[in-house]
Amino acid sequence: MKQETRNKKQDSLRFQVSSLKLKSGQILVITVIFLAVILILSTSLFTSVTAFLKFGSNSIMREQAVHLAEAGIDKTLWQLNQTAGTYTGETNTPVGTTGTFTVAVTDKSPGIKTITATGFVPNAAAPKEKQIIKVDTSISSETISFRYAVQVGAGGVNMENSSQINGNVYSNGNITGSGTSKITGDAYAVETISSPDPTVLGTKYPNQPPSIMPTIDYQYWKDAATAGGTTNCGGDCSFTSGFIDLGPKKFVGNLILQNTVYATMNGPIYVTGNVDIKNSAVLKLNNNFGSNGTVIISDGKITVQNGGSIMPTDANPKGYIMAVSTSTNASEAIDIKNEGVNAIFYALEGGATIQNTAQLTALVAKTLKIKNEAVLNYDEGLASASFSSGPGGSWAIRKGTYHFK
């Protein structure tokens, strides 16, 4: 009996031990499964975090590459404005420790250039990120209408000898003539038109209402010129020989171009004194202006004499230099004495004299005296001429052309 009881106790003990082992095994399996789930979740989370960090890093580098390309565009605009549009680009220019940019400039038309800028992070040899941006840039300009070959204020037009104006004339005063003077177009006058001279091949229109004169913002052009720097002449700034670049620039004093100097005008010029171009000297507008013109403005008298010349661009239509005098002198604001002056002259508050064999393109003045064999040949394109401040702020991005390549 005792033995049977002992056996039962042993069997019960074995069952409890077996049951305990079974429960421990189940817990171990559950624990392993739990740990596996945590490991899978952790791995997934780590992968997601890694991917997010990598994406963030790529986004940062992509943004850096864009900024590098835009830095290239900014420098290109500055260079175009400093070199009158002759800048063609550069390669692998570093920007701090971030990366480099490369820029190429190509001509799209006489007045439009395409900039292709590429930003590299960290360098062009082994880039982790690269962005290419293309934009078109052009010379910003304003339109000033010269609808007449000659347009003068109340001082009127006085033609003498065999002088000739090839185009239409509008005077807010009289038009008088003598000798064999001639106007090949129509003649308009607020007051009278003398007869028989000048001969008018078109139609005479006396007693007309006053015309609205073309207006120029003097301060705008002075500021545009001054933006390129100031030279104190101490009296005269005289250039006598060689090839030189002028503008944008302010000259405090008188500006004299003479003898064999050949000056290329790269932007507006402001002279606080007189301007004198003489003795075979040449002032030529840089061809990079295309069909746009620019301004040389003087607070004194502008004189072109003894073989001096002013030349436009070679474009079609041409871009002209406009010589502006702010002088109020009734007879001394502008004085043109020889041929080869293919330019526009403007002296709204002063007088202009064209004499000898002088030739020019268009004129606006308070009064005009044209005599001897002087000829004025009007260019029809001046009815809607564009003038630009040129280097020093003229090249700008054209709206709607910014895009990623």
Number of Cβ within 10 Å of residue 219's Cβ equals 9
Determine the average pLDDT of the residues in 336-351: 88
If we measure between CA atoms, which residue out of 269, 277, 348, 342 comes closest to residue 307?
277
Interval 185-209: pLDDT, tens: 999 999 999 999 999 999 999 999 9
Determine the average pLDDT of the residues in 240-254: 96
Determine the average pLDDT of the residues in 263-276: 96
Task: Identify the band that residue 400 occupies on the pLDDT scale cut at 50, 70 and 90.
Answer: confident
**pLDDT reported for residue 50:** 57
Interval 73-83: pLDDT, tens: 999 988 887 77
If we measure between CA atoms, which residue out of 45, 95, 54, 106 comes closest to residue 72?
95
**pLDDT reported for residue 44:** 65
What is the four-CA torsion angle of 387, 392, 393, 398, rounded to 10 degrees?
Answer: 80
DSSP symbols for 95-137: ETTTEEEEEEEEEEETTEEEEEEEEEES-SSS-SEEEEEEEEE
**pLDDT reported for residue 395:** 74
Q: Which residues contact 308 (CB under 8 A, 6 or more apart)?
A: 257, 258, 276, 277, 278, 279, 280, 281, 282, 283, 338, 340, 341
Interval 6-36: pLDDT, tens: 555 555 555 555 554 555 556 666 776 767 7
Q: From residue 287, how far is each of 29, 269, 359 by CA, in Å?
A: 87, 17, 21
Interval 158-189: pLDDT, tens: 999 999 999 999 999 999 999 999 999 999 99
